[in-house]
């Protein structure tokens, strides 16, 4: 018994014409050109819910599209284009450009061409004259583009070298970590070196280490070996200019020579080429063997190099102090920090010293040298012409008569904000400010730390009184008081540092705060009935008086 299909069930339930019985699947066969394909039976309305699409019949307005699109050529072509036959079936692909959207013509090296017709419109034929013009213009644009890219690549390469060396580009400011390097140093301010000077000091340390290693094992230290080692240690570019700067700062550190026949074991350097050799200068004792560049020598040379750098900054600092109004003079042995307005990171670079250069062949550069060499080989007329040229060159190269001296610059006018203020008052203010800056520059580190504590005392006194009020005790141990103060103060201070503040507070105000030593503990006793505003005013006055000294 055949099993009923689900579609038959819905067909019986559905109102309307009765569904047709299931039709057999037609056998699909490959159509033969001799026999036409059998017609597909039309579907009945009951067999599917989709409406049957009526077959497309060709009409007179819309003829049936042909199986293959024919190539239609214009009647007339441009004068420069070859005349093609009307058949179009024997045309090659390189001569015509198909009009279909997917078709592309081939036109010379540029890969693009212009289509032209009889009236100059694009129709499908490639014009040789237009393609040659387009190709020439494209070649010119590509050449110009290549030149721009080459110049851009050279600029990027030079900027990368300057970046590796830590130098800013021309017309560009240095990075902030270099321009404000002195302000970002930890600890109390002192004689801080500029960023570029510190980089040079690090280069000297690395160079001294590598040269010492080569010197101790009796190996000739060349610039190529030292350069590679320094760059590996610092991750910065190291050039001959930096070696010249090191020689300027510390002339007695190395001996530089140009030598040949130095084994390099490299393919790019010949044994007969001149190379810059570096030899450390050491003090050799009488009757002793060749000295070694030990760690103590390295440390001593590094200290001497750092002192020389500081001395160079001192020279610029002295010039800055002399340019102030009024000028200032600070003893060198008392100088502990730079002037507040002296920008350390704007100190000019160190001029590199001249290094030995390999001997070069003699070249004739002037007419006098040519005349001296070839006097016997030339005619009298040529000799006279060269003599006149030498005289004219000497006259043009001679310095002219000195002009009149430029007039002296007028004194700087006071700013508009100070207009109407008496000069005596301005001079007194400037003199007082200079004295304050002089005291600040010659202040010792211990005095600096004491002043910092004095500045914190007013707020610490307020915090300490609040702790005593909340505890409701007449006295507290030093440990408890310092721990509570360290937890309540806005800055992070250790209990040991807080104890020094409490001792200073008892030293300055013994009638308000007193310390009592009982057995192994120290107790802090505070007068809570005293006026806090008066105590803070006394502390501020003491801090100002100490800072003015």
DSSP 191: S
| pLDDT attached to residue 430 | 84
Is residue 162 predicted with pLDDT exceeding 80? no
Distance, in Å, from the CA atom of 500 to the CA atom of 522, rounded to the nearest integer, reads 13
Residues contacting residue 3 through CB under 8 Å, at least 6 positions apart = none
Name the residue with higher pLDDT: 488 or 163: 488
How many residues would you count in the chain? 549
Mean per-residue pLDDT, 72-97? 46
Name the residue with higher pLDDT: 523 or 400: 523
- 258: helix, strand or coil: strand
- Single pTM value for the model: 0.52
Is residue 201 predicted with pLDDT exceeding 80? yes
| pLDDT attached to residue 226 | 94
Q: Give the lowest-confidence range in 87-91, 126-130, 214-218, 322-326.
A: 87-91
| pLDDT attached to residue 301 | 95
| pLDDT attached to residue 340 | 87
Name the residue with higher pLDDT: 184 or 211: 211
Task: State the angle between helix axes of 495-508 and 445-471 in degrees (0 to 180), rounded to the nearest 10.
Answer: 90
Alpha helices in 422-477 (DSSP H): 423-441, 445-471
Residue whose C-alpha is closest to residue 207's, from 194, 191, 220, 225:
225
Mean per-residue pLDDT, 105-125? 44
- 276: helix, strand or coil: strand
Tell the residue number behind the tokens 């800056």, with chain if given.
437
Is residue 111 predicted with pLDDT exceeding 70? no
Extract the tokens encoding 60: 């007179």
Tell the residue number behind the tokens 């017709």, with chain if given.
117
- 547: helix, strand or coil: helix
DSSP 84: -
Q: Give the lowest-confidence range in 211-220, 285-294, 313-322, 416-425.
A: 285-294
| pLDDT attached to residue 385 | 80
Which pLDDT band holds residue 331 (cuts at 50, 70, 90)?
confident
Name the residue with higher pLDDT: 185 or 223: 223
Extract the tokens encoding 1: 């018994």
The answer to whether 456 and 434 are in contact (CB under 8 A) is no
**Max CA separation in the chain (angstroms):** 135
Distance, in Å, from the CA atom of 543 to the CA atom of 549, rounded to the nearest integer, reads 10
The answer to whether 481 and 464 are in contact (CB under 8 A) is yes
Is residue 296 predicted with pLDDT exceeding 90? yes
Residue whose C-alpha is closest to residue 339's, from 436, 227, 247, 269:
436
- The answer, yes or no, to whether the previous bond of 199 is cis (omega within 30 of 0) is no
Which pLDDT band holds residue 87 (cuts at 50, 70, 90)?
very low
Is residue 145 predicted with pLDDT exceeding 80? yes
DSSP 96: B
Distance, in Å, from the CA atom of 284 to the CA atom of 292, rounded to the nearest integer, reads 10
Query: pLDDT by residue (tens digit) across 53-81?
Result: 655 555 555 555 555 665 555 544 444 44
| pLDDT attached to residue 106 | 42
Which string of DSSP letters, residue by residue, matches 350-382? Answer: PPPPPPP---------SHHHHHHHSGGGS-HHH
Extract the tokens encoding 508: 């300055």
| pLDDT attached to residue 75 | 47
Distance, in Å, from the CA atom of 76 to the CA atom of 92, rounded to the nearest integer, reads 19
| pLDDT attached to residue 180 | 79
Q: Give the lowest-confidence range in 270-279, 286-295, 321-330.
A: 286-295
Extract the tokens encoding 89: 């079936």
Distance, in Å, from the CA atom of 212 to the CA atom of 235, rounded to the nearest integer, reads 20
Is residue 128 predicted with pLDDT exceeding 70? no
Range ranked top by mean pLDDT from 15-24, 184-193, 407-416, 508-517: 508-517
Is residue 85 predicted with pLDDT exceeding 50? no
Mean per-residue pLDDT, 336-353? 90
Is residue 498 predicted with pLDDT exceeding 80? yes
| pLDDT attached to residue 242 | 95
Name the residue with higher pLDDT: 178 or 34: 178
Strand partners, 521: 518
Mean pLDDT, the chain, whole residue set = 75
Extract the tokens encoding 227: 């350069």
- 83: helix, strand or coil: coil
| pLDDT attached to residue 428 | 84
Mean per-residue pLDDT, 146-155? 89
Name the residue with higher pLDDT: 223 or 38: 223
Extract the tokens encoding 281: 């200068």
Tell the residue number behind the tokens 């067909």, with chain if given.
11
Buried b (16+ CB within 10 A) or exposed e, 410-419: eeeeeeeeee
Is residue 282 predicted with pLDDT exceeding 70? yes
Mean per-residue pLDDT, 39-58? 55
Task: State the angle between helix axes of 532-548 and 495-508 in degrees (0 to 180), rounded to the nearest 10.
Answer: 90
Mean per-residue pLDDT, 270-275? 80
Give the side-chain half-sphere CA count within 13 A for 526. Answer: 25
Mean per-residue pLDDT, 458-462? 93
The number of helix segments (H) and strand segments (E) in the chain equals: 14, 8
Mean per-residue pLDDT, 348-365? 82
| pLDDT attached to residue 547 | 78
| pLDDT attached to residue 6 | 56
Which string of DSSP letters, residue by residue, matches 237-248? Answer: ---HHHHHHHHH
Task: Specify burial of residue 538 (Cβ count, 10 A radius: 0-12, 13-18, 19+).
Answer: middle
Strand partners, 477: 523
Chain centroid to CA 439: how far? 39
Contacts of residues 466-473 at CB distance under 8 Å and 24 or more positions apart, as own/partner, are: 468/526, 468/528, 469/528
| pLDDT attached to residue 170 | 54
Mean per-residue pLDDT, 274-296? 81
Q: What is the CA radius of gyration of the chain?
A: 48
Query: pLDDT by residue (tens digit) across 393-451?
Result: 777 655 544 444 444 444 555 666 677 778 888 888 888 888 888 887 888 878 888 88
- 171: helix, strand or coil: coil
The answer to whether 273 and 359 are in contact (CB under 8 A) is no
Which pLDDT band holds residue 183 (cuts at 50, 70, 90)?
confident
Strand partners, 515: 524
Residue whose C-alpha is closest to residue 475's, from 534, 515, 535, 421:
515
Residue whose C-alpha is closest to residue 193's, from 301, 316, 309:
309
Distance, in Å, from the CA atom of 159 to the CA atom of 171, rounded to the nearest integer, reads 12
- What element of type H or E holds 506? helix 495-508
The answer to whether 196 and 166 are in contact (CB under 8 A) is yes
Mean per-residue pLDDT, 496-525? 91
Strand partners, 276: 258
The answer to whether 461 and 535 are in contact (CB under 8 A) is yes
């Amino acid at each position: 018994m055949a099993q009923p299909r689900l579609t038959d069930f819905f067909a019986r339930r559905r109102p309307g014409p009765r569904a047709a019985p299931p039709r057999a699947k037609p056998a699909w066969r490959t159509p033969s050109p001799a026999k036409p394909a059998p017609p597909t039976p039309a579907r009945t309305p009951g067999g599917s819910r989709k409406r049957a699409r009526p077959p497309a019949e060709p009409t007179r307005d819309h003829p049936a599209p042909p199986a293959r699109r024919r190539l239609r050529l214009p009647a007339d072509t441009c004068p420069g284009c070859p005349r093609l036959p009307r058949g179009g079936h024997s045309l090659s692909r390189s001569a015509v450009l198909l009009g279909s959207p997917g078709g592309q013509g081939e036109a010379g090296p540029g890969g693009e061409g212009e289509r032209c017709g009889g009236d100059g419109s694009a129709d499908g034929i490639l014009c040789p004259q237009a393609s040659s013009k387009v190709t020439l213009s494209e070649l010119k644009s590509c050449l110009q583009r290549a030149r721009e890219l080459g110049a851009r690549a050279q600029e990027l390469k030079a900027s990368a070298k300057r970046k590796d060396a830590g130098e800013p580009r021309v017309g560009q400011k240095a990075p902030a970590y270099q321009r404000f390097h002195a302000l970002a140093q930890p600890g109390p301010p002192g004689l801080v070196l500029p960023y570029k000077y510190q980089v040079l000091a690090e280069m000297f340390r690395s160079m001294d280490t590598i040269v010492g290693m080569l010197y101790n094992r009796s190996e000739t230290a060349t610039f190529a070996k030292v350069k590679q080692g320094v760059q590996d240690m610092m991750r910065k570019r190291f050039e001959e200019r930096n070696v010249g700067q090191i020689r300027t700062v510390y002339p007695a550190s190395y001996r530089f020579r140009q030598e040949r026949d130095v084994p390099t074991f490299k393919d790019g350097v010949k044994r007969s080429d001149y190379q810059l050799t570096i030899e450390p200068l050491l003090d050799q004792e009488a009757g002793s063997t060749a000295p070694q560049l030990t760690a103590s020598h390295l440390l001593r040379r590094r200290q001497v190099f750092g002192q020389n750098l500081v001395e160079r900054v001192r020279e610029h600092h002295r010039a800055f102090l002399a340019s102030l109004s009024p000028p200032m003079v600070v003893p060198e042995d008392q100088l502990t920090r730079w002037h507040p307005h002296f920008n350390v990171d704007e100190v000019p670079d160190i001029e590199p010293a001249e290094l030995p250069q390999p001997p070069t062949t003699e070249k004739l550069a002037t007419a006098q040298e040519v005349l001296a060499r070839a006097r016997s080989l030339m005619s009298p007329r040529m000799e006279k012409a060269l003599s006149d040229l030498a005289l004219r060159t000497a006259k043009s190269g001679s310095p002219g008569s000195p002009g009149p001296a430029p007039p002296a610059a007028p004194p700087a006018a006071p700013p508009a904000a100070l207009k109407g203020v008496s000069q005596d008052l301005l001079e007194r203010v400037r003199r007082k400010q200079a004295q304050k800056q002089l005291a600040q520059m010659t202040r010792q580190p211990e005095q600096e730390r004491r002043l910092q504590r004095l500045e914190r005392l007013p707020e610490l006194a307020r915090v300490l009184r609040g702790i005593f009020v909340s505890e409701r005790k007449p006295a507290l141990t030093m440990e408890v008081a310092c721990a509570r103060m360290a937890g309540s103060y806005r800055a992070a201070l250790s209990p040991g540092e807080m104890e020094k503040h409490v001792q200073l507070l008892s030293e300055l105000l013994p009638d308000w705060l007193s310390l009592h030593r009982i057995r192994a503990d120290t107790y802090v006793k505070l007068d809570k009935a005293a006026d806090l505003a008066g105590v803070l005013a006394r502390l501020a006055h003491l801090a100002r008086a100490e800072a003015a000294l």
